[in-house]
Structure 1
Amino acid sequence: MVYAIVRAGGRQEKVAVGDVLTIDRVPVASGETLQLQPLLLVDGETVTHDASALAGVKVVAEVVEEAKGPKITILKYKNKTGYRKRQGHRQPLTRVKITSIGE
């Protein structure tokens, strides 16, 4: 089984061909391809983590859709002053499907 550890959106994710991954938003249109930076490659018994060897390895992903994360509610309250502030946030995300791992 071939899989890789890639850097995606400030985090590291374990991916294999066919996986659908949710990462922070990237400015790529839906249906286009995207290259992710591999940090580790496992091909059966062979483990590659050397940066010079990984320079030729490409992890290609196709953008499936743009999405939003769950709603997060932020409440600020100060005692005895009447100060209350309510705010919300939804993180913009991108779903990608891994299409190939290799040279």
Structure 2
Amino acid sequence: MYAIVKAGGHQEKVEVGDTILVNRLDAKNGETVEFPVALVVDGEKVIIAAADLAKISVKAEVVNDDAKGPKIRIQKFKNKTGVARRKGHRQKLTQLKITAIA
């Protein structure tokens, strides 16, 4: 059984026991968060009706509330003018462990 959940502005495919990284959530380590479901597949049964999906939620436990993504380096360079610029970015993430799809 797996579900597609809306988490942090993205959609993620999750199963019970999976660990996922989502954009930073306002939750501390050990807290439980719930996500709305976009689709559920249980064997050969697919649930996509909005009325049925409203009854289902995915629960996850916060494993690491201070995770970070990879460092991205941005460089600009203009030839023959001496103009060069460096910039960097590192996304703040939250690591979650899926505990239940119910």
Is the pair's TM-score, using the shorter chain for normalization, greater than 0.5? yes
> Does 2:81 align with 1:81?
yes
Q: 1:8-27, CA deviations, whole angstroms, 9 ceiling, x for partnerless residues?
A: 12221111111101111111
- Number of the residue aligned with 1:23: 22
- CA-atom RMSD in angstroms: 1.1
**TM-score, L = length of structure 2:** 0.92
Offset at residue 87 of structure 1 (A): 1.0
Offset at residue 94 of structure 1 (A): 0.8
- Number of the residue aligned with 2:94: 94
Q: 5+ unaligned residues in a row in structure 1: which ranges?
A: none
- Number of the residue aligned with 1:43: 42
- Number of the residue aligned with 1:14: 13
Offset at residue 45 of structure 1 (A): 2.3
Q: 5+ unaligned residues in a row in structure 2: which ranges?
A: none
Offset at residue 79 of structure 1 (A): 2.2
> Following the alignment from structure 2 to structure 1, what is the Cα–Cα distance between the partners of residues 45 and 93?
33
Identity of aligned residues (%): 55
Q: Between Structure 1 and Structure 2, how many residues are aligned?
A: 101
